[in-house]
């Protein structure tokens, strides 16, 4: 079975500061990794995903994440955040096989203030 741990439940930062949201996973098989963002009362929007290849993945809105197999991590980073980045961020994992659901972490609330 797979599991995801998001180490920080809340991350407050000031506008234009860098941010890193941490995600670790556990799995006995190879996995695909994802980061989603959820704005209040809305569904999920895919930020980026790692399926294979380069371990540094670039996504939308200036976010990027690095897959580290040895540390079983997939941390999300942005060099300079905006007020509009305030949202809930979910890390998710799924085994790289067809027909399997995503397993989500508990989420990290990113609060950007001026």
Told to check if 106 binds other proteins by CB under 8 A, we report yes
Which of 64, 66, 86, 104 is close enough to bind other proteins by CB under 8 A? 104
Q: Quick check: helix, strand or coil at residue 35? A: strand
Told to check if 111 binds other proteins by CB under 8 A, we report no
Q: Is 104 exposed, middle or buried (0-12, 13-18, 19+ CB in 10 A)?
A: middle
* Binding to other proteins, residues 21-80 (CB under 8 A): 36, 41-44, 46
Q: Quick check: helix, strand or coil at residue 72? A: coil
Which of 73, 105, 110, 112 is close enough to bind other proteins by CB under 8 A? 105
Structure tokens at 100: 């399997």
Structure tokens at 111: 């609060």
Minimum separation from the CB atom of position 106 to other proteins (A): 5
């Amino acid at each position: 079975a797979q599991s995801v741990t998001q180490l920080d439940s809340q991350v407050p930062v000031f506008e234009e500061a860098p941010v890193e949201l941490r995600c670790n996973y556990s799995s006995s098989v190879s996995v695909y990794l994802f980061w989603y963002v959820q704005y209040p009362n809305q569904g999920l929007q895919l930020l980026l995903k790692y399926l294979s290849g380069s371990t540094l993945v670039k996504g939308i809105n200036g976010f990027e994440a690095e897959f580290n197999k040895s540390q079983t991590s997939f941390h999300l980073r942005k060099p300079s955040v905006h007020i509009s980045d305030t949202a809930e961020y979910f890390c998710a994992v799924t085994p790289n096989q067809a027909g399997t659901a995503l397993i989500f972490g508990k989420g990290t609330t990113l609060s950007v203030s001026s």
